[in-house]
């Protein structure tokens, strides 16, 4: 398989396997280039912009200058490709928009920049799938997201890399007054290394956010995640939830930090880790920082193994050991993320089912 169209076909098939229905509305960036893009025509008519990032810089210079690289440092000329998604004021886009970032050639270094803007009162759901068709490649991404006053954005991201792939990702999010940002991230790959930093700035009062991370480490993966939330607006609130599952000789390290400066803010960090291999390693660092005398910040963290008595209980109900382990892992992976649209709920559950059965 050598030409791009064959690889695109393979990428679309792989995307469907993890529930990304790109043909219904979405894009595929293969290596350095955007090779496929589709958006419902009625959405275009309603003012939704969905374009390749360089094209966006040329076609929509005002919007680009207003939002691009304001939170993160970067230069669009040093970027291979990326997606610009713009949802105009007051518009609700019910169907998810699927973005696939695919590494299709060995030694390729894919540099991506995505810009997502939700104007005041708008709503949208973005689903990203990042995966590889080959080994020995690198994915590097920057993403900026702006959620306007009263707007709501749900982002679901699934990482499914091969063992010799390195990944570096930085995401920065700004949430306006009464804005709502929901983020569900799942990694079920054996990537050599992932470094993923997320910053959420809740500048608007009464803004809310929730970021769930479900991370599976297998083989010799080294996975590092850092999530920081800044509760700047009064009465803003955030929850950071993570489930870390380390198998084989993998290593998972997470940092979760909430800094509260607004009045009457609320933040909660919940981190649970499960180690399934003698060489597996998990470390988690929750940090709460209050700069306001009425902030309410809490955290809970635990790391453990599957309990013998739970296993024996399920075995006594007729499940052999492997089934019982999968069931317990599946239960462990449940974070209670409730903002999943029905169109992709089944896909996410299917990914989690696969993850609970995987070996490492």
Partner 1 sequence: MSQTSLSVSGITVEVGGTIVVKKANLDVRSGEIAILMGPNGSGKTSLLRAIMGFPSYKIITGNIYLDSLDVTNLPSWERAKAGIAIANQAPPALSLKTKWLFQKIAEKYGTQEELSKVVNEIILQHLLERPAFNGFSGGEVKRAEMATVMLSKPKVALLDEPDSGVDVESTKKIANMIDAMAKMGVAILLVTHAGMLVRNLKMLGRGYVMINGRISQGGNARDLLKYVLEEGYRNFRGSDIQ
Binding site for partner 1 (CB under 8 A): 307, 309-310, 312-321, 324, 327-328, 330-332, 334
CB of 194 to partner 1, least distance (A): 25
The smaller minimum CB distance to partner 1, of residues 14 and 330, is found at 330
Q: Which is nearer to partner 1, 199 or 306 (CB)?
A: 306
- Residue 45, C-beta contacts closer than 8 angstroms, at least 6 positions apart: none
Q: Which two tokens stand for residue 1?
A: 């398989």
Choice between 300 and 312, CB closer to partner 1: 312
Instruction: Kindly tell me which of 55 and 310 has the beta carbon lying closer to partner 1.
Output: 310
Closest approach of partner 1 to the CB of residue 328, in Å: 6
State the nearest-atom distance from the C-beta of 330 to partner 1, in Å. Answer: 7
Smaller CB separation from partner 1, 255 or 330:
330
Q: What one-character-per-residue DSSP string does 171-208 give?
A: EEEEE-TT-EEEEEEEE-S--SEEEEEEEEEE-STT-E
User: Residue 281's closest CA among 209, 199, 222, 325?
Assistant: 222
Query: How far is 341 from 274, CA to CA, in rounded Å?
Result: 28
Q: How far is the CB of 254 from partner 1 (least distance, A)?
A: 19
How far apart are CB 353 and partner 1 at their closest, in Å?
A: 11
Min CB(92)–partner 1 separation in Å:
27
Q: Which is nearer to partner 1, 58 or 307 (CB)?
A: 307
CA angle 216, 228, 230 (to 5 degrees): 150
Residue 107's Cβ-count burial label (10 Å; 0-12, 13-18, 19+) is exposed
Question: Which residue in 136, 268, 123 sits closest to 209, CA to CA?
Answer: 268
Cβ neighbours, 10 Å, residue 29: 27
Element (H, E) at 263: none
């Amino acid at each position: 398989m050598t030409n791009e169209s064959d690889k695109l076909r393979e990428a679309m098939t792989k995307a469907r396997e993890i529930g990304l229905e790109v043909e219904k509305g979405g894009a595929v960036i293969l290596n350095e280039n955007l090779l496929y893009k589709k958006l419902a025509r009625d959405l275009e008519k309603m003012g939704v912009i969905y374009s390749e990032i360089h094209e966006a810089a040329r076609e929509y210079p005002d919007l680009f200058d207003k939002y691009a690289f304001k939170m993160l440092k970067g230069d669009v000329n040093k970027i291979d490709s990326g997606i610009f998604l713009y949802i105009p004021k007051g518009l609700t886009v019910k169907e998810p928009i699927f973005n696939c970032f695919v590494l299709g050639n060995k030694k390729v270094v894919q540099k991506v920049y995505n810009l997502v803007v939700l104007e005041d009162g708008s709503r949208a759901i973005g689903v990203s799938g990042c995966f590889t068709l080959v080994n020995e490649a690198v994915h590097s991404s920057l993403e900026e997201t702006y959620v306007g006053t009263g707007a709501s954005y749900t982002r679901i991201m699934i990482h499914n890399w091969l063992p010799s792939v390195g990944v570096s990702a930085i995401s920065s999010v700004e949430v306006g007054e009464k804005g709502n940002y929901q983020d569900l991230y799942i990694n079920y790959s054996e990537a050599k290394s992932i470094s993923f930093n997320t910053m959420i700035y809740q500048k608007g009062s009464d803004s809310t956010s929730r970021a769930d991370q479900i991370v599976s480490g297998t083989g010799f993966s080294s996975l590092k995640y850092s999530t920081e939330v800044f509760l700047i607006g009064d009465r803003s609130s955030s929850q950071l939830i993570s489930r870390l599952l380390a198998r084989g000789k993998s290593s998972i390290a997470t940092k979760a930090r909430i800094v509260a400066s607004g009045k009457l803010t609320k933040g909660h960090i919940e981190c649970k880790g499960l180690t399934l291999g003698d060489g597996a390693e998990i470390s988690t660092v929750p940090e709460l920082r209050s700069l306001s005398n009425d902030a309410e910040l809490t955290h809970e963290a635990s790391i453990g193994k599957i309990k013998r008595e739970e296993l024996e209980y399920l075995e006594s109900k007729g499940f052999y050991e492997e089934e019982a382990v999968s069931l317990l892992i599946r239960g462990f992976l449940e974070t209670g993320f409730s903002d999943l649209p029905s169109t992709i709920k089944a896909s996410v559950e299917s990914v989690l089912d696969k993850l609970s059965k995987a070996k490492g």
